[in-house]
């Protein structure tokens, strides 16, 4: 007898397709950008952090992109506040987020990129909080993740934003540390990194960030040109509601001796409760007014910074600058000196400006300074801000012979060299910078005590590079690297090494 079996119900072909496609579909959702996430990311670039966090809180999708954005928001909060308590409470999130990202689709090009981004976020944060060793390990692991992703997905543009940045940093490592990079398997140069940053700007998601990083690299590692300044100005004009851009524009211009332009950006910055609080802006404003010799206004800004800031970076620097305001205004010693005593008792020496403040305070409190230091300091501040008419007026009544101390002779010549360099009179600048270099290099093994030798050599390298004299440029960049122990060694070495790579 023939056995009768029940007939299987028919399965809709569309349903069958959806069931088979479900695992692939779910994996694709691991790294999808929702409209809300895109809006949150744009808000972060404007430093509209309350709005960004509200948008993320409304998101029902929790995937790799959401993990990255939550981490990005924490990074911005920590680096803008420098709050040690917030750092202690949030620092465990790095491992939690990395663990969550590792569980997502490893066949997606996003998986390694976002792990690298999280590591770089925390490397940046840890550097701000003086955790250099842990930050270094994060950078190493981020590099390996990005290099592996580039090899596996060479056409995935988001890889190149951070990989290009790291290649530039590797390319600017001083020669005496290049063996470390080789040992770790780091390979790259400045030109390669710049090309990768340009490539990253083709990606619509990371275009803005890649463009900003490119400008920052040119300002802090390479040589910031007039055309770079114009590009920055157009970028800020096109994004006039971005506090982030106004802030970075001001720091870049101030760094490059254009404090009047920096002041313009800060005065035009957007304000209000919709933006992340930025106490550091008062510190920058204090710097600019100090450079302009407007001491009362500078004091008000430095005090505002210290009253609202919760961190430990730039605290020594601010008390040092408060001392300068009172000292340069010829106020009594009893009124100015306590600010230097405060320098030695508060904050930390993670950033270069705090290291310089600590060094000055210790020297002054121990042995005082000669009256000539006021003249040199006024000229230095005005020159650093690009106020070259004022700087030259301070120094014009003096000659080198009026400075009995060798360090003061070197500084006098260096200041004049920088003033004429900024006034676009390079041939006049060369003679003063060479004299400063000679004086700084004649201390019988103690030249590390003077930064003027290294900084003079660096600027001479730039001048000869502009003259297209590659031989002389290389000689002076290598000379800058030869100075061993001075408070600006990291930045001078990075710039000199990057310049050598470009040659």
pLDDT at residue 77, as a whole number: 93
Residue pair 345/325 in contact (Cβ under 8 Å)? The answer is no
- Judged on CB neighbours under 10 Å (0-12, 13-18, 19+), 398 is middle
Q: What region does 311 belong to: left with phi over 0, alpha with psi -120 to 50, or beta?
A: beta
pLDDT at residue 18, as a whole number: 41
pLDDT at residue 315, as a whole number: 95
Contacting residues for 499 by C-beta, under 8 A, at least 6 apart = 222, 223, 458, 461, 462, 465, 473, 477
What are the sequence ranges of the domains in the chain? Answer: 32-223, 224-278, 289-368, 389-503
pLDDT at residue 425, as a whole number: 95
Domain range 389-503, its CATH number among 3.90.950.20, 1.25.40.10, 2.60.120.10, 2.40.10.10: 1.25.40.10
User: 167-187 in b/e burial notation, b at 16+ Cβ within 10 A?
Assistant: bbbbbbbbeeeeeebeeeebe
pLDDT at residue 175, as a whole number: 54
Contacting residues for 447 by C-beta, under 8 A, at least 6 apart = 440, 441, 453, 483
pLDDT at residue 183, as a whole number: 53
Q: What is the residue-level pLDDT of the chain in tens, covering all 503 positions?
A: 333 433 444 445 544 444 444 344 345 478 999 999 999 999 999 999 999 999 999 998 889 999 999 999 999 999 998 888 999 999 999 999 999 999 999 999 999 999 999 999 999 999 888 888 899 899 999 999 999 999 999 999 999 999 999 998 887 665 554 545 555 667 777 889 899 999 999 999 999 999 999 998 888 877 788 899 999 999 999 999 999 999 999 999 998 899 999 999 999 999 999 999 999 999 999 999 999 999 999 999 999 999 999 888 999 999 999 999 999 999 998 899 999 999 999 998 988 899 989 999 998 998 887 888 899 999 999 999 999 999 999 999 999 999 988 889 999 999 999 999 999 999 999 999 999 999 987 554 444 457 788 999 999 999 999 999 999 999 999 999 888 877 778 778 888 888 887 77
Percentages (nearest 5) of helix, strand, coil residues in the chain: 75, 0, 25
| pTM for the structure as a whole | 0.83
């Amino acid at each position: 007898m023939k056995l009768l079996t029940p007939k299987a119900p028919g399965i809709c072909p569309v349903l069958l397709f959806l069931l088979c496609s479900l695992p692939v579909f779910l994996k694709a959702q691991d790294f999808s950008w929702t409209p809300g996430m895109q809006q949150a990311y744009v808000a972060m670039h404007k430093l509209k952090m309350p709005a960004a966090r509200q948008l993320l809180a409304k998101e029902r999708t929790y995937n790799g992109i959401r993990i990255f954005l939550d981490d990005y928001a924490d990074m911005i909060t920590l680096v803008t506040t420098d709050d040690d308590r917030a750092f202690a409470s949030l620092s465990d999130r790095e491992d939690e987020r990395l663990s969550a990202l590792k569980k997502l689709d490893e066949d997606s090009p996003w998986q390694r990129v976002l792990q690298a981004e999280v590591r770089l976020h925390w490397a940046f944060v840890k550097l701000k909080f003086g955790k250099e060793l842990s930050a270094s390990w994060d950078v190493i692991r981020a590099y390996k993740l990005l290099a592996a992703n580039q090899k596996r997905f060479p056409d995935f543009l988001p890889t190149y934003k951070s990989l290009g940045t790291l290649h530039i940093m590797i390319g600017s490592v001083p020669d005496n540390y290049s063996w470390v990079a080789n040992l770790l398997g780091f390979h790259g140069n400045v030109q390669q990194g710049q090309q990768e940053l340009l490539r990253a700007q083709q990606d619509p998601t990371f275009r803005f960030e890649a463009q900003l990083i490119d400008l920052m690299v040119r300002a802090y590692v390479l040589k910031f040109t007039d055309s770079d300044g114009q590009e920055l100005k157009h970028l800020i004009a096109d994004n006039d509601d971005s506090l982030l851009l106004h802030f970075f524009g001001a720091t870049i211009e101030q760094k490059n001796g254009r404090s009047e332009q920096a002041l313009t950006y800060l005065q035009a910055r957007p304000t209000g409760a919709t933006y992340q609080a930025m106490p550091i802006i008062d510190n920058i404003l204090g710097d600019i007014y100090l450079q302009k010799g407007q001491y009362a206004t500078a004091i008000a800004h430095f005090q505002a910074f210290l009253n609202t800031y919760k961190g430990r970076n730039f605290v020594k620097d601010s008390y040092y600058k408060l001392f300068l305001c009172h000292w340069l205004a010829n106020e009594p010693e009893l009124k100015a000196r306590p600010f230097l005593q405060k320098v030695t008792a508060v904050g930390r020496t993670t950033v270069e400006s705090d290291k310089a403040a600590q060094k000055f305070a210790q020297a002054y409190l121990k042995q005082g300074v000669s009256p000539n230091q006021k003249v040199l300091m006024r000229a230095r501040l005005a020159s650093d801000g690009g106020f070259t008419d004022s700087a030259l007026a301070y120094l014009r009544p003096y000659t080198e012979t009026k400075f009995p101390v060798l360090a003061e002779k070197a500084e006098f010549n260096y200041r004049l060299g920088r003033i004429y360099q900024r006034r676009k009179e390079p041939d006049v600048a060369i003679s003063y910078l060479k004299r400063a270099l000679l004086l700084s290099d004649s201390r019988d093994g103690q030249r590390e005590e003077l930064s003027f030798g290294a900084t003079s050599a660096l600027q001479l390298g730039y001048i000869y590079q502009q003259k297209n004299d590659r031989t002389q440029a290389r000689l002076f960049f290598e000379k800058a690297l030869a100075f061993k122990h001075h408070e600006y060694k990291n930045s001078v070495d990075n710039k000199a090494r990057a310049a050598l790579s470009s040659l």
